[in-house]
Chains A and B, each alone.
Chain A
Amino acid sequence: MDAVATAFGLVFQPYVLLVIALSAIYGLFVGAIPGLTATMATALLVPVTFFMPPVPAVAAIVTATAMAIFSGDIPSALLRMPGTPASAAYTDEAYLLTKKGQAETALGAGLVFSVLGGIFGVLVLIVAAPALAEIALKFSSFEYFWLVMLGFTCAIFIAGSDPLKGLVSLLLGLLISVVGLENPAGAPRYTFGNAEMMGGIPLIPLMIGMFAVSEILRFAVVVAKPEMATDRPFGNVFKGMGALLKKYPLQLFRGSVLGTAVGALPGAGADIAAWMSYAMSKRFSKEPQKFGTGHVEGIVESGAANNAALGGAWIPALVFGIPGDSITAIAIGVLYLKDMNPGPTLFVNNPQNIYAVFIVFILAQLLMLPFGWGAIKVAKQILRIPAALLMPLILLFCIVGSFAINNSLFGVVVMLAAGIVGFFMERWGFPVAPTILGVVLGTMLEEHFFSSLIKADGNFLAFFERPIAGTLGVLTLSVWLWPLARMLRRR
């Protein structure tokens, strides 16, 4: 109980609360502008959080992402352009609602059910993470090895429509992780005699490149002018939400559960959760014919799902150090920088920090109601700011941010290269998430593989001898063998 009190003390300080408020505004703004994603918001925040104590640093990321995922709904409804990829699943639906003169319903449902879904995700996180950490304390390198493998498998088979391209993305990520001195033999790999490469490819500039610079390049290439769907002032967005809640409680629950689960799976985040939830909502709806004509049911379910995914994604991130989505992949980098190395011991050694993160999570969800309402009020002004004015400024932020991590231009070089690679990957249909997972987990994979190998004394069966490791191993292998088995059965 002491730790909880300390945690409240850590959060309820003027400085931390100010950081939360500012990150909320920042997140709402970035999320609302099409082309600026929630992941980009996180990547751009990192250089700033670099200079903060751990709790406000994590608070900034948590708050900004939660707000950004919601405010992505705003341009969906008004411009038919998702503000973040997580809103793409129901963009048409929200836009058609606005066209029908029901902008308040579209935006209100987005806001209210985002908050409810988000709170659900956080509650699961609060209950599940410490319980899982309890189990994870007994994990050895065998379990971690299989967890990483299972994470890779999820990223390839669940996160993308094309497993082959997902696999390529993952392998490229692993290749990037191989660079440097940090390997079991301590030998320099692919450093090309460069002293900076010895330390490996710096993660934060890489992320800024992949998620921000690539978006700027994409913006530069495609120039399209969106049109505002409505010009009248909005009425009360909360009107009718009680009725929706009464009408669609099952949808809310289903969306929240699916969202949290998809979020917790490595490699799949809010955007995939929203797509899956939207499809599920249509499938089980009593009025599926209404979907795609401006029907709020799908927004309720997938709007809850994408915010629930945020909380879900932090479960494996905090307990195992395995990111549940691209945002937590960046957040893990921040945790390491802040000496809050993720893993079960975090719950034992620094429980107050973990509880503080939980409190921030709930606070962010609750703040979303007033802040989100405000964002909707000024949405039209925000959306009138031409992105062409923002993009070069963001580029300068990216450059200075990448430089600031090690005060070295090498970071800027990495950022540019990653941006160009990210641009072409997206263009050619290679998902970026598995690459990030590969980069983040490559070193961990190698380390656990070699310590397992040494313990097993060369006997590969030892990888399956411990019960949890064996289960995880069999699970991983069966996901890989399943398509093969199906192919053989068809013959």
Chain B
Amino acid sequence: MRRTDAFVGLGLAVLAWAVLWSARAFPNVPGQKLGAAFLPMLVGAGLLLCGIALIARSLRGRAYADDAAAEAGREHFGSSLVVIGAVLAYIFLSERLGFLIVAPLCLMAGFLAFRIGWQRALLWALGGTGLVHFSFYKLLRVPLPWGVITPFY
């Protein structure tokens, strides 16, 4: 965690620099000395100071509680990547292929990543898609995309 803090601090400092650099271009409120740049500048300066403080603190070696490290070793990062992948797949494919095709695939991926058996996963993926489609498309009238199956609709 101490090392993580130093890296996070460094990341924050870089972010702060980007914020400060870009904020110079923002215009002032007419008739005032301050303007659109004021809050970004303030936030940038604050983040810069905090980043430096985090780095300094972790270099000085102040000890503090570390929950994440205690659980390390029992973790499965693979499944979380599947979750992220499923959302990305939805973002890029739903309009083209349609909700009724992409949603069950996303659900299947999730179930299998969480070690649910094939048959059960398939059943729940189809049922879950039906439930969400019914409640959002039919009841709440959210225009979920039809994609390639529009002709069949």
A interface residues, Cβ below 8 angstroms from B: 47-48, 50-51, 162, 164-165, 167-168, 171-172, 174-175, 178, 183-187, 189-190, 213, 216-217, 220-224, 386, 388-389, 391-393, 395-397, 399-400, 403-404, 407, 409, 412-413, 415-416, 419-420, 423, 427-429, 442, 445-446, 449-450, 453-454, 458
Contacts and interface: CB of A to CB of B under 8 A. Distances in A.
The list of the 5 closest CB pairs from A to B, nearest first, reads A392-B110, A388-B114, A185-B36, A220-B79, A220-B80
B77 A174 contact: no
B40 A189 contact: yes
Interface of B: 1, 4-5, 8, 12, 19, 22-23, 26-29, 32-36, 38-40, 43, 46-47, 50, 53-54, 57, 64-65, 67-68, 71, 74-77, 79-80, 82-84, 86-88, 90-91, 94-95, 103, 106-107, 109-111, 113-116, 120, 124-125, 128-129, 131-132, 136, 140-144
B68 A427 contact: yes
Contacts, number: 170
Given A48-B140, A51-B140, A397-B132, A167 B50 contact: yes
Interface of B is mostly: helix
Interface of A is mostly: helix
Given A168-B50, A222-B76, A393-B128, 14 more contacts: A185-B28, A185-B35, A220-B82, A220-B114, A221-B79, A389-B116, A392-B86, A392-B124, A399-B106, A400-B132, A400-B144, A416-B88, A428-B4, A450-B32
A184 B83 contact: no
A220 B131 CA distance: 23
Given A392-B106, A392-B107, A428-B5, A217 B83 contact: yes
B43 A183 contact: no
11 contacts: A51-B141, A167-B46, A174-B43, A178-B39, A184-B35, A391-B110, A412-B91, A416-B87, A420-B84, A449-B38, A450-B34
A416 B85 CA distance: 10
Contact of A223 (B46, B74, B94, B107): B74
Given A189-B40, A388-B115, A400 B32 contact: no
Contacts of A404: 136, 140, 142
A45 to B, nearest CB: 12
Nearest to A427: B68
A185 to B, nearest CB: 4
Nearest to A216: B83
A168 B43 CA distance: 9
